[in-house]
Amino acid sequence: MSQTTAATPSASGHRPSGLDQLIALAAAQPLAPACDHFYFLRHGQTGRNAQRIFQATDEPLSELGLQQAARAAGLLAGEPIRTIVCSDARRAFDTAHAVGNALKLVPTAQAVLRERNFGALIGTSSANIDWACEPEGGETLAQFVARKRAALAEALAQPAPVLVVAHGGTLYALAALLGVPVDLGLLGNAQPLRFDRSGPTWAVTPLLRHADGDAALA
């Protein structure tokens, strides 16, 4: 996979508004974890994922999401993962525990790994997400990137290899912080990804591409 930082197109084929600003903010202070590889898993699908609606932290997995989490657990069961760190939002927490049961590991939940707080936009459509927005009662883009930089640095300092279970927004930020492009096929719910470093350069590989890839916000 090319190592030139690139934005992911939305489901309509266009770059999400404000994504260039997210990439620029991340590039100003890149993430430099000491590990040479780690894993990332977006949570399983929820009802509001399917409807493309900004979600609260208590949004549960749908039946499909539970199936996706179980499938991801099977894919990750053969990987040498030592630590699972997850967002404490219900959809990520439950996905992480499905994987943890398969790996016989107890995930550590952290509020700092939650999705971006979109404040007053929660409950409204995320179909035309603007990453540069400044929602009332929510986080600015700069605040979100700074939070993710610190949270991911802490998570990836845990005993390796580490699995991070979080959100689509976290994946956008993580990729930008490492200078890795994220294509549409990597954004599917419960799609296990492996990040590998060769010298200073990072690359990402899906353990198995899902057929339900969707750039909708987590």
β partners of residue 41: 165, 192
DSSP 91-138: HHHHHHHHHHHHHT--PEEEGGGSPP--GGGTTSB-TT-BTT---TTS
Element at 109 (helix H, strand E) = strand 108-110
Selecting among 43, 97, 167, 210, the annotated active-site residue is 43
Residue 115 among the catalytic residues: yes
DSSP designation for 216: S
Q: Of the candidates 67, 214, 93, which has an alpha carbon nearest to the alpha carbon of residue 164?
A: 93
Q: What phi and psi, each to the nearest 5 degrees, are found at residue 14?
A: -110, 150
Are 182 and 158 within 8 A, CB to CB?
Answer: no
β partners of residue 120: none
Selecting among 37, 59, 97, 115, the annotated active-site residue is 115
**What would you report as the CA-atom Rg of the chain, rounded to the nearest whole angstrom?**
16
Residue count (the chain): 218
Are 87 and 155 within 8 A, CB to CB?
Answer: no
Residue 210 among the catalytic residues: no
Residue 209 CB burial class (10 angstroms; 0-12, 13-18, ≥19): exposed
Q: Report, as residue numbers or ranges, the catalytic residues.
A: 43, 115
